[in-house]
Chain A
Amino acid sequence: MNLANLDRRIVYLLVFLALSIPLVQRYSVRPARMESAEKLYRIVQELDSEKKGVAFVALDFGPNTKAENQAQAEVVIEHLMRKRVPVVLFSLYALAEPFLKLVPERVASRLMKEHPGEKWVYGQDWVNLGYRPGASLLIQSIPKSDDLDELFKKDVRGNDLKDLPATRHFKSLKDIVFLAEFTGLVGVFQNYVQFFRSKDYVPKFGHGCTSITIPEAYIYMDSGQLNGLLEGIAGAAWYSELLMRDNPEREIDSSALINTGLGVAHLILIALIVFGNVMGFLERKKS
């Protein structure tokens, strides 16, 4: 067998094994420290639940990037719910609709399992505004509005926002103490950077991006337009680790498991790249 012309299907098989073995064996290693994720954690940690205001969480992702974005959204929403900061969820992306329902419900049920005496309920701890079309036009209308209850009117369940405890005082941009946005889509995140602000107020902004857009997202971290960042699944895994440190009773989630599988797969890919180059070099030398 000529190793220089290794069948690509063998490479696929190796990657498949590297990724699936940690999942089957439930084996995970401690994730690497991510500074940007830590910044985001500190921002959420410093939010004061006693103060009036909500966290605005945009889940602008669909099934195509749920691998990374869902894990990120879950850890941040969990942190907000632990802090009892009301979460208002919405999306500019139609395919995100199932996640707007699924993610907070999963987090709430996990928290109630962990704390049997406590309750996290819809309307008080989170509100789902659903998918809203309009993209940048909608985002621009948020800072201009002095009655956000009136702008969004109803949640997905048909409740009047004025009747829900979480959104009763949802009036202007200043009532949004924290903005988190999770996406893998090109150009969506920029809508928030450009327009989710008024002349005298910009809420703290955290972003969860897919691995592809990490280099681009660093620009916004460097300029201060972003206050915290979750870099792909690695960011979610480190955020999860920080939650575990502060809440030792918390059950481990799948982000560390996925992160371990990814690490192994990367090592295999690096080994294959080195191997391919060495073989190519030797072949050329021979000929």
Chain B
Amino acid sequence: MTVINYGDSWQLATVLVGGIATLAIFSFLIKENPVYRIFEHLFIGIAAGFGIVFSIQRFLWPNIMVPLLGLDIDVYPDGTLSHSYNYWLLLYILPMVFGLLFYFLYSKRFGWLAKVVIGFQLGASGGLAFKGFFNEMIPQLEKSFKPLVVFSNGEVNYWQSFEHILFVFTLLSVMYYFFFSFKRESRLAQGFAGSGRWLMMICFGAFFGSTVMARMALLVERLQFLIDDWSPALKYLFGA
């Protein structure tokens, strides 16, 4: 719940517009309508614009353009400078120009220049993904080797042992289900692959259940906003 300062007309207007936008989007639940469409496009436009403005305002301008143009150099009354211009900063221009080649995508004649940038991007992303994959997956692979019988305080921990057996069985059966290099002829092989399929179904069910939960959480937050913020703001506006 936001504590609204009703004296601040800007904040009041924000809450009121927020409530109208929420209801406009919810109107889709009754049926598709033009009001919903307008607000949907408004949201997409605002989100895209917001990202671009923030990148320029918070990064490109203060970190790149200001030092590059020497705007961070103060001139004191006696004519001396706060610091001298660093000519190495001119090197920033090279990646900027290289990045701008991307826009040749719209040119038939110079379209190949954009491909150079795209190729560079693909190569760099591939390299990063490769490095990241090992950092992410190796610990998971290591942890998938679990003892099937777990001892705690010198005694068998049956519950944890069962968990580990189930884990290993699921891992192997699901992997086996996706192993298409040879035909599964024996009933045992078919059953093993089939159980992998069933276990995946259970997993998808869990995914679906948590998706529903997340959607409900989004709804409840909006309801909370309408009940706690928007309706008091409306009452204030109409003097109730």
Contacts and interface: CB of A to CB of B under 8 A. Distances in A.
A23 B224 contact: yes
Interface in A3-40: 9, 12, 15-16, 19-20, 23-24
A232 to B, nearest CB: 6
A210 B215 CA distance: 10
A178 B103 CA distance: 41
Given A212-B210, A215-B206, A219-B140, A131 B135 contact: no
Contacts of B136: 190, 193-194, 225
A106 to B, nearest CB: 9
Of the four ranges (under 10, 10 to 19, 20 to 34, 35 or more), the interface on chain B belongs to 35 or more
A244 interface: no
9 contacts: A20-B227, A23-B223, A215-B207, A219-B140, A223-B139, A223-B142, A254-B1, A261-B223, A269-B212
A133 B55 CA distance: 7
Nearest to B31: A9
Contacts of A131: 54, 58
A97 B58 CA distance: 10
Contacts of A168: none
Interface of A: 9, 12, 15-16, 19-20, 23-24, 62, 64-68, 94-95, 97, 130-133, 136-137, 140, 153-154, 156, 184, 190-191, 193-195, 197, 210-215, 219-220, 222-225, 232-233, 254, 257-258, 261-262, 265-266, 269
B213 interface: yes
Interface in B176-219: 203, 206-207, 210-214, 216-219
A261 B214 contact: no
Interface string B48-77: 001100110011001100000000000000
Interface of B: 1, 29-30, 47, 50-51, 54-55, 58-59, 62-63, 128, 131-133, 135-136, 139-140, 142-143, 203, 206-207, 210-214, 216-224, 227-228
B1 to A, nearest CB: 6
Contacts of A233: 217, 220
B221 A24 contact: no
Contact of B54 (A24, A97, A211, A220): A97
Scoring A66, A94, A266 by chain B CB atoms within 10 A of each residue's CB, the highest score goes to A94
Contacts of B207: 212, 215
Contacts of B218: 64-65, 67
B210 A214 contact: yes
A70 to B, nearest CB: 8
B213 A211 contact: yes
A225 B139 contact: yes
A225 B135 CA distance: 10
A17 to B, nearest CB: 10
B223 A94 contact: no
Given A136-B132, A225-B139, A66 B221 contact: yes
A219 B29 CA distance: 35
B50 A197 contact: no
Contact of B217 (A16, A23, A210): A210
A23 to B, nearest CB: 5
A277 B68 CA distance: 67
